[in-house]
């Protein structure tokens, strides 16, 4: 169960207790008791309680980011050929043919992007959050919200492959 879901369940329990106490002290209960027995009332409230939990467990909840590092699922293996095509579509315009750079962005084949200085996580975060200009004079890289964690994973496989071939390890 995701952390957001557990948090949501706690909120759900508190909401339930609050609603339940309101019902117990209200004139509605006297009215309900006239038309159904206590077990039925409890069952109805319980169903209401479950329906409070469902939205909490349905993906990102309460403003929490379910995937803050924009990582693909565990066990995902990037494919460098797929990555090359995805790189061409999404990154080439700035990072250049073969990641050699352009007048809009730095070469990812530069030694500062070796895996020890810029781990794969740096790629996932660059796409998710953008990059504040700090190594170069090209300006900031904007976040790329349309790019999935898996797409970045494939692109990383491609970039690491051509980095290795260029002796950047």
Q: Is 117 in the site for ligand HEC (CB under 6 A)?
A: no
- The whole-angstrom separation of Cα 106 and Cα 89 is 17
Q: Is 147 in the site for ligand HEC (CB under 6 A)?
A: yes
- The whole-angstrom separation of Cα 129 and Cα 145 is 9
Q: Is 129 in the site for ligand HEC (CB under 6 A)?
A: no
CB of 144 to ligand HEC, least distance (A): 6
> Dihedral (C-alpha) 133, 136, 142, 147: value to the nearest 10 degrees?
-130
Contacting ligand HEC within 83-112 (CB under 6 A):
90-91, 93-95, 104-106
- 56 vs 91 by CB, closer to ligand HEC: 91
Piece in contact with ligand HEC (CB under 6 A), picked from 13-21, 41-49, 75-83, 144-152: 144-152
Q: Tell which one of 123, 128, 153, 154 touches ligand HEC (CB under 6 A).
A: 123
The three-state secondary structure class of 102 is strand
- The whole-angstrom separation of Cα 9 and Cα 21 is 18
- The whole-angstrom separation of Cα 112 and Cα 131 is 15
- The whole-angstrom separation of Cα 107 and Cα 159 is 11
CA angle 3, 71, 131 (to 5 degrees): 115
Q: Tell which one of 19, 80, 136, 150 touches ligand HEC (CB under 6 A).
A: 136
Contacting ligand HEC within 28-67 (CB under 6 A):
none
- The whole-angstrom separation of Cα 30 and Cα 24 is 9
Q: Tell which one of 31, 37, 134, 167 touches ligand HEC (CB under 6 A).
A: 134
Q: Which residues contact ligand HEC by CB under 6 A?
A: 90-91, 93-95, 104-106, 118, 122-123, 126-127, 131, 133-136, 138-139, 141, 144, 147, 152, 155
């Amino acid at each position: 169960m995701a952390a957001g879901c557990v948090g949501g369940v706690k909120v759900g329990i508190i909401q339930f207790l609050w609603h339940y106490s309101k019902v117990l002290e209200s004139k509605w209960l006297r009215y309900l008791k006239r038309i159904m027995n206590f077990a039925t009332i409890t069952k109805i409230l319980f169903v209401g309680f479950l329906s409070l939990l469902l939205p909490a467990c349905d993906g990102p909840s309460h403003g929490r980011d379910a995937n803050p590092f924009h990582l693909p699922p565990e066990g995902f293996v990037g494919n460098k050929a797929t990555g090359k095509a995805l790189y061409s579509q999404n990154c080439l315009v700035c990072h250049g043919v073969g990641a050699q750079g352009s007048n809009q962005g730095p070469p990812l084949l530069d030694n500062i992007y070796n895996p020890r200085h810029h781990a794969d996580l740096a790629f996932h975060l660059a796409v998710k959050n953008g990059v504040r200009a700090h190594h170069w004079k090209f300006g900031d890289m904007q976040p790329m919200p349309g790019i999935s964690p898996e797409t970045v994973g494939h692109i990383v496989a491609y970039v690491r492959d051509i980095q290795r071939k260029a002796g950047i390890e």
